[in-house]
Structure 1
Amino acid sequence: MFQCLPLIWLSLLAVVCAGRTLYQIPAKGAKGVKLQLQTSRPYNIAHRGSNGEIPEETAAAYLRAIEEGTDFIETDILSSKDGALICFHDVVLDLTTDVASRKEFADLDFTLNELKKLRTKQRYAFRDQQYNGKYPIITFDEFINIARDAPRVVGIYPEIKNPVLMNQHVKWPGGKRFEDKIVETLKKYGYGGAYLSKKWLKKPLFIQSFAPTSLVYISNFTDSPKVLLIDDVTMPTQDTNQTYAEITSDTYFSYIKQYVVGIGPWKDTIVPVTNNYMQAPTDLVKRAHAHNLQVHPYTYRNENGFLHFNFSQDPYKEYEYWINEIGVDGLFTDFTGSLHKYQEWTSPLPDTAKSPRQLLAQIASLVLPYAKA
């Protein structure tokens, strides 16, 4: 029967079969109006890109996430020795690059040029290793341009990473701070505007940090929405030496909501875990919502080692719990495709909000069973 399919159906099948191709960054200035960011369901936030498959914080990981339907691509911003802003999570290079095999780079504080010579690898040995050694570290500018060049409106979600350490070890001209350089870069590309304003919807952005003083500081220079990240409640913040238990109190929420639109808590801060079983949820989400703060927890991962026993090794059950029972407003996930599939099954967007490629793929999914008959 497959040989008898009309050409149109073969074209539709090609959309699906070619879905695993790594696409180059789309050319700038593509004609036509871009589809806008969806705001009717919780945000799908690509945590360091689609890094369940491809090494984190690489252009390829972000392109895959966009292809898979993410709303926002998320990154951690650090600085090189010479003050260049890069997308990288750790202050050491061993875990996600080939630096250990590059003896010429032993005991260095790296310039951007030196960092660009390294190649990334998967953080976890149990994930696909086929892309190790292929992709370089990217700059913040390159990250932004991936979103700008996407075929639809894709938001960005940069983290001001380790600002205390960055300001201690890197010096910028004119006495500028790490936070200043991040805001300057965002403004250079036209990012700004209050949450859900017309300006914001054209270039969606959340700025996140575990350091509350950094978020308060940049509020003097940008009205872009900010999110305060929350670690284990027993941990101290890097900049105020308060515990995260203190900064999730109602008193603190009343203060910080002047500067942020939401919080990004570790999942286990919201729902405590004992022996890998989730216990009764805290009132953190309820209280945050009472202060008109969004809640974007981290991190959702498909592998059994990250799934609590309550979900019977099923990531879709985890999504269902957090979206429908806890009521979160966004999810940081390593597997953007899985979250997108779940949301399309349970809360599909109207066809007018889908791209031609998405519509073709949807039609093809209906045709495929007959093609295989």
Structure 2
Amino acid sequence: MQSCYNYAQTIIRQDVDDIMNIIAIFGICLLKNESFLQRAIEEGADFIETDILSSKDGVLVCFHDVTLDNTTDIANRTEFANRKRTYEVQGENMTGFFTVDFTLKELKSLRVKQRCSFRDQQFNGKFQIITFEEFITIALDAPRVVGIYPEIKNPVFINQHVKWSHGKRFEDKFVETLQKYGYKGSYLSKDWLRQPVFIQSFAPTSLVYISNKTDLPKVFLIDDVTVPTQDTNQSYWEITSDEYLEYIKQYVVGIGPWKDTVVPVVKNYMTNPTNLVARAHAHNLQVHPYTYRNEFPFLHFNFSQDPYMEYDFWINKIGVDGLFTDFTGSLHRYQEWTSNRKDDDDDKTESNLLHKIALLVSSYE
């Protein structure tokens, strides 16, 4: 997912008549590691999100970019200076230090840093890249039910450069890892409610492929209007057509579009909304746009630098079913504020509902 750095993100659901729509995913706008993910959970996270790539030796890791240049100290590690490569990634040549050229041990020797200069830099150089299994363990070790929302990242590129035994693919290892830790079941099934997970990807063929291996719910991510799909080279207009939505709904429960494609932006002002949300809903697909950020470079002028106005617009006017945000504190406060305004009934408080579901599930086991 396109974002300013590698972190847990947030989804908030708005409709109290639909269980999915009121599950909140609280992340934290910092570095993705054990400490910050645990902090996100302490702040109320029901799900934590991550991007999944692979090391040279086939270990799945949590990292946003296929290159290490922008968010690690690789530039200062002279012992790796000869690892710089140029590869084709999604149809374009890219030069840098790629995760697929480093073993897990080597990746673990690096330290991560914040990409955006206007964000807190004090944690740079203090934390390692974590593995997918370590990420899962953080969720499972939480004192309550905490779901995960992992992304199958750049599968075409990963499968070109990393080879597993017995002809297995990146997607196979991804699903096997989830199954190893007990993740199974269709959306809202008893098994799913016990260990909730959504699988996301920009690559539709990967989502179709894993549908034969797991019935866990999947979300098809959609990039900007100028960016074709990384695996099938289909245009934005094709994959958002009614014909394609009717096709992809056989494999996914929702779509995750870049928010500026749902409501186009000109000179930092939002224009008229498209009908994508309405059409997706007509095909029984959820819509979870990304990514919502508090800082002035990301807030459109329509909202007067007020993230609450942005949340309110997307949830109550556009009618999205979920949204990803970097700023869980703001979203949590907005959630509490609107919840207090609407209803004081704790049974309808979004932040508690998933926990109540878990109790209901355990009560008849």
TM-score after normalising by structure 1:
0.81
Measured against aligned partners, the alpha-carbon deviations of 1:95-141 in whole angstroms (never above 9, x if no partner) come to 11111111112233110000001111111010011111111100000
| Deviation (angstroms), 1:154 | 1.3
Measured against aligned partners, the alpha-carbon deviations of 1:230-256 in whole angstroms (never above 9, x if no partner) come to 011231111111012100110001111
Instruction: State whether structure 2 residue 45 is matched by structure 1 residue 79.
Output: no
Q: Please, which of 57, 66, 69 is the counterpart of residue 91 of structure 1?
A: 66
| Deviation (angstroms), 1:42 | 4.4
Alignment partner, residue 59 of structure 1: 34
CA contact 1:44–1:339 (8 Å) conserved in 2: no
Structure 2: distance between partners of 1:301 and 1:64:
19
Q: Please, which of 322, 332, 342 is the counterpart of residue 330 of structure 1?
A: 322
Structure 2: distance between partners of 1:133 and 1:160:
26
Structure 2: distance between partners of 1:69 and 1:155:
12
Alignment partner, residue 235 of structure 2: 243
Instruction: State whether structure 2 residue 75 is matched by structure 1 residue 100.
Output: yes
Counterparts of residues 176-195 of structure 1 (less than 5 Å): 176-195=168-187
| Deviation (angstroms), 1:45 | 3.5
Instruction: State whether structure 2 residue 263 is matched by structure 1 residue 288.
Output: no
Measured against aligned partners, the alpha-carbon deviations of 1:209-249 in whole angstroms (never above 9, x if no partner) come to 00000000000000000000001123111111101210011
Q: If you compute each CA radius of gyration, which structure gives the higher value, 1 or 2?
A: 1
Instruction: State whether structure 2 residue 248 is matched by structure 1 residue 278.
Output: no
Structure 2: distance between partners of 1:309 and 1:342:
19
Counterparts of residues 1-373 of structure 1 (less than 5 Å): 39=19, 41-46=21-26, 49-51=27-29, 54-55=30-31, 57-108=32-83, 109-347=101-339, 350-351=345-346
Runs of 4+ in 1 over 6 A off after TM superposition: none
| Deviation (angstroms), 1:329 | 1.3
SS in 2 for 1:263: strand
- 40 and 81 in structure 1: CA distance in 2 versus 1, 3 angstrom threshold: closer
Structure 2: distance between partners of 1:76 and 1:264:
14
Structure 2: distance between partners of 1:338 and 1:68:
11
Quote the RMSD (CA, aligned, Å): 1.8
SS in 1 for 2:323: strand
Gaps of 5+ in 1: 1-37, 356-373
- 127 and 118 in structure 1: CA distance in 2 versus 1, 3 angstrom threshold: same
- 327 and 107 in structure 1: CA distance in 2 versus 1, 3 angstrom threshold: farther
Letter in 2 for 1:106: A
SS in 1 for 2:82: coil
Alignment partner, residue 11 of structure 2: none
Structure 2: distance between partners of 1:163 and 1:260:
17
Q: Which moved more, 1:237-246 or 1:161-170?
A: 237-246
Structure 1: distance between partners of 2:36 and 2:236:
31
Structure 2: distance between partners of 1:350 and 1:58:
35
Equivalent residues, number = 314
- 121 and 350 in structure 1: CA distance in 2 versus 1, 3 angstrom threshold: farther
- 83 and 98 in structure 1: CA distance in 2 versus 1, 3 angstrom threshold: same
Structure 2: distance between partners of 1:278 and 1:205:
32
Measured against aligned partners, the alpha-carbon deviations of 1:37-93 in whole angstroms (never above 9, x if no partner) come to x937444444xx412xx22x2222322221222232110000000000000010111
Structure 2: distance between partners of 1:85 and 1:222:
18
CA contact 1:42–1:331 (8 Å) conserved in 2: no
| Deviation (angstroms), 1:331 | 1.2
SS in 2 for 1:286: helix
Letter in 2 for 1:245: W
Letter in 2 for 1:39: I
Structure 1: distance between partners of 2:46 and 2:240:
27
Structure 2: distance between partners of 1:344 and 1:105:
48
Letter in 2 for 1:112: L
SS in 1 for 2:336: helix
Alignment partner, residue 8 of structure 2: none
| Deviation (angstroms), 1:347 | 2.4
CA contact 1:65–1:337 (8 Å) conserved in 2: no
Letter in 2 for 1:320: D
Letter in 2 for 1:111: T
Alignment partner, residue 371 of structure 1: none
| Deviation (angstroms), 1:351 | 3.5
Structure 2: distance between partners of 1:295 and 1:77:
22
